[in-house]
Amino acid sequence: MTKPRLVFATRNPGKVREIAQMLSDQYEIVGLADIGCAEDIPETSPTIPGNAIQKAEYVLEHYGVHCFADDTGLEVASLGGAPGVHTARYAGEAKDADANMAKLLGALTNATDRSARFRTVIALTTEVGTRTFEGICNGHIAEEPSGADGFGYDPIFIPEE
């Protein structure tokens, strides 16, 4: 019996591999390249859940396949939830991690509350409809970067134990 196919709306082969390993007993997980999706999928929603939904629904509408998509944002309490939906482009369209961290640390120079959280929303879209799932990792922003591992905001985000 063939496993149901699910498209993960990402161009990151590492993410596809990781999820495929987790779900390989039940699903065949493929990425956007595997379905011939070369165009940029719009991410124009003002919210993290909205962007995840928009990506998943785009794939179903244009390619006719069940899809899930994710969007993640760093929400800093003393900045009213910023950078939020703009996490990847906080310092500009170039998606420069070092510039993003520098801008965030600058914005928190005099902040006494450095609490923050990473919020990830996954949207699953089929012909029946769309469901969302959310995960949160609470923590705080360090005063300066530390460590060489990870990516994005990892050098300044310290998760709760």
Indicate which residue of 25, 70, 71, 154 is catalytic.
Answer: 71
| CA 115/CA 55 separation, integer angstroms | 29
Find how far residue 93's CA is from the centre of its chain. Answer: 16
The closest alpha carbon to 135, from 126, 125, 152, 123, belongs to 123
Instruction: Tell me if residue 96 is catalytic.
Output: no
Q: Please, are residues 24 and 1 in contact by the beta-carbon 8 Å criterion?
A: no
- The amino acid sitting at 97 is A
| CA 102/CA 82 separation, integer angstroms | 14
Give the active site residues: 71
